[in-house]
Amino acid sequence: MSTIMRARTTYNLPIPSAGTNLFQTYWRPGTSPGSNADATDILARVRAALNAILAVVSTGVVFTPVTEVDAIDDATGAITGTFTGTAPALVTCTGSGDLMPAQTAWLVKATTNLIVGPRLLKGRMFLGGVTEGHNTSLGTPVAGDVASFNTAFNGMLTGGATASFPVIWHRPNPLAAVPVGTSGPIVNFATQANFWGSQRHRRP
C-alpha cells in the first residue's frame, strides 16, 4: 500500500442549473504520510495548470481550491489524515462564446506504466465550461486549445517545490479481478482531440 493525497478544486458553470462541479487529482506525496508542504505544492501545481487554460474555459467560471488535502491509503481507500495547504489564488476564466451543454467537457486522458491485472492503468479527467468559441464547425475541440491543455497538464509532472507527483488510483473493489487498490505515477497527459467528453457521474 501507498499513501496518496487527494486535491480538489470546485467550480460553477455560468448557468444556475449546472450546480457545483469538482475537479479532482491524486498525488503521491514527497514526504510519507503527507505534509502541509506537500499539500501546498500540489495545490499550486494544479492551480498553475488551470491558470494556463483560463482563456479556453468559459468566462464566468472560477476555479476555487479546497485547501484541505486528504491523505488516503490507496489499498483500502481509508482516509489516514488531512493536511492544509496554503491557498493559491483563484483562477477566473475568460473563454469566449456561448456555453455549450453543461455535460460537454474537455476529456484529458492520463497514462501510467503500471499493469493492474490484465490492463495498463489509465485515467480520465473531465473539465467543463466548453464554449462555442472553442468548438470547430465539425463539433470537435480547436486544435490549438488541445495543445494548450496538453502543455498545461503535463506541466504538473515536473517543477514542483516537493517530490510529490500525480498518480492514477486503481480503487479497491472486492468484486474486481484485482480487489486491492493501488496507484501508479502518471507519465503523460493527452487531451481528446476528435470529440468532446461527457461526464455523467462524479466519484467521491
Whether residue 54 lies inside any domain: the answer is: yes
Q: Which of 1, 5, 64 is nearest to 36 (CA)?
A: 5
Which 3-state string (H, E, C) describes 15-57? CHHHCEEEEEEEEECCCCCCCHHHHHHHHHHHHHHHHCCCCCC
Q: Is 147 part of any domain?
A: yes
pLDDT at site 141 = 96
69 is a domain residue: yes
Residue 173 lies in a domain: yes
Is residue 204 in a domain? no
Within-domain flag for 203:
no
pTM: 0.94
- For residue 95 the three cell numbers come to 473563454
pLDDT for res 17: 61
Averaged over successive runs of 10 residues, the pLDDT of the chain (204 residues) comes to 95 79 96 96 98 96 97 97 98 93 94 95 95 94 97 96 97 89 98 90 56
Residue 165 is assigned to a structural domain of this protein: yes
Q: Tell me the residue type at 126.
A: F
Count of domains forming the chain: 1
Domain with 98, as residue range(s), is 3-198
Q: Cα–Cα distance between 204 and 165 in angstroms, integer? A: 20
Flag whether 111 is in a domain.
yes
